[in-house]
Amino acid sequence: QALALGQNWQVHDAQDDETVDRELSLLGELDEAIANRELDVHYQPKLCLKTNLIASVEALVRWNHPTRGPLRPDLFVPLAERNGRIAGLTLHVLERTISDLHTWKVQGHAMTAAVNLSAKLLNSATFLAELRSLIETSGIAPHVLTFEVTESAAMTNAAEAAAALESFQAMGIAISIDDYGTGQSTLSYLKQLPLDELKIDRSFVQFAHQNRSDGVLVQSTINLAHELGLKVVAEGVEDPECMAFLRAAGCDMIQGYLISKAVPAKALSALLERPVSM
C-alpha cells in the first residue's frame, strides 16, 4: 500500500495490534478532532506539462494527534468510513480547501483543487444536501473543485455511483477517477460514468520510463483517456526521467515527490511564488 517513505506517518495494518478498545478511543478522539477543527489539510501540487504551471492541487487530510503524533490517513480515514464519520470529515476537508482556495486567489493565484471522495458518500443524500449548502454559503464557483473517486468505489454499484456523480457534475464539480488501473473492473464503466479526468496509479507510473510493459500501459491509457475526452494525471512521479517519459507520452499533468510532497497551505503559496523550471 501507498507508504509515504521518508515521512513520519505511523504505519497501520488493520489485522495488526489495534484492539477494539484502541479503535474506540481513537474514534472518540477523531470526533473531537473534527468538532474542534484539529484535522489539517495539506496540498500536493499538480504540474501542468503543457504550461509548466501549478494550477491545481490535491487536498490530503492530516491528523496531528496530540499524543500519538502525526497519523497517516490510511489509519483514520477507514475508521471514519466504518463508523459513519466520513461525511463530517470530508465536509471539514472541503471547508478548509474552499477557504484556502480563496486565500490563494486573493494572493493572485487562480487555483483549482481536488478532494478525495469515499465510496460511502456516493449514496448519501445528507452529504449531497450539506455539500450544496456549503457551496452556497461559501460562494465558491463549483468548477474550481474536483472529486477524486477510486475505481473500486465507483464500481461497487455502478448505477448508483453514476447517478451520484451526475449530481455533483450538474453542480459544476469535476469528476476524476483515482488510482486508475488498480481495480479489477472491466473498462465498460469508463462509458457508464460521467468523468472529466483519469489519474493513473503510482504503481504503473513509477517505473514507466524503465519498464517496457509499464510504459506501454501508461501510454495506451493516456491515448484511451484522450480518445474519451478525459484529462490525464499521472501520480507518484519521483524521477525527472519519468516526467520526460510522461511529457513525450502526452500526459496532461503530473503529481509526485519530484514536484512536491503535500504541504500546508502557506507553504503552497511560497511554492507558487517561485516558477517551476522543469
Residues touching ligand C2E: how many (CB under 6 A)?
22
Residue 121 per-residue DSSP state: G
Asked if 74 is part of the footprint of ligand C2E (rule: CB under 6 A), the reply reads: yes
Give the footprint of ligand C2E on residues 158-217 (CB under 6 A): 178-179, 202
C-alpha cell at 246: 510522461
Give the footprint of ligand C2E on residues 241-270 (CB under 6 A): 256-257, 262
Asked if 98 is part of the footprint of ligand C2E (rule: CB under 6 A), the reply reads: no
Q: Concatenated DSSP letters for 151-179?
A: HHHHHHTHHHHHHHHHHHHHHT-EEEEEE
Per CB under 6 A, which region of 16-24, 102-110, 153-161, 233-241 contacts ligand C2E?
A: 233-241
Indicate which single residue of 47, 61, 165, 177 sits in contact with ligand C2E (rule: CB under 6 A).
61
Residue 238 binding result from ligand C2E, Ca ion, none, given CB thresholds of 5 to 8 Å by partner type: ligand C2E
Give the footprint of Ca ion on residues 140-169 (CB under 5 A): 148
C-alpha cell at 229: 475526452
Give CA–CA dist 221/98, Å, rounded.
31
Residue 256 binding result from ligand C2E, Ca ion, none, given CB thresholds of 5 to 8 Å by partner type: ligand C2E
Asked if 116 is part of the footprint of Ca ion (rule: CB under 5 A), the reply reads: yes
Residue 118 binding result from ligand C2E, Ca ion, none, given CB thresholds of 5 to 8 Å by partner type: ligand C2E
Q: How far is the CB of 108 from ligand C2E (least distance, A)?
A: 26
Give CA–CA dist 89/258, Å, rounded.
29
The residue with its CB nearest to Ca ion is 148
Give CA–CA dist 221/208, Å, rounded.
12
Give φ, ψ of 75 to 5 degrees: -85, -45
Asked if 151 is part of the footprint of ligand C2E (rule: CB under 6 A), the reply reads: no
Q: Concatenated DSSP letters for 101-115?
A: HHHHHHTT---EEEE
- The alpha helices in 4-145, defined as continuous H runs, are 20-35, 73-82, 86-106, 125-138
β 40-48/54-65 pair status: antiparallel
Q: How far is the CB of 1 from ligand C2E (least distance, A)?
A: 9
Asked if 73 is part of the footprint of ligand C2E (rule: CB under 6 A), the reply reads: yes
Summarize as ranges the residues that interact with Ca ion (CB under 5 A): 116, 148, 178-179, 201-202, 235
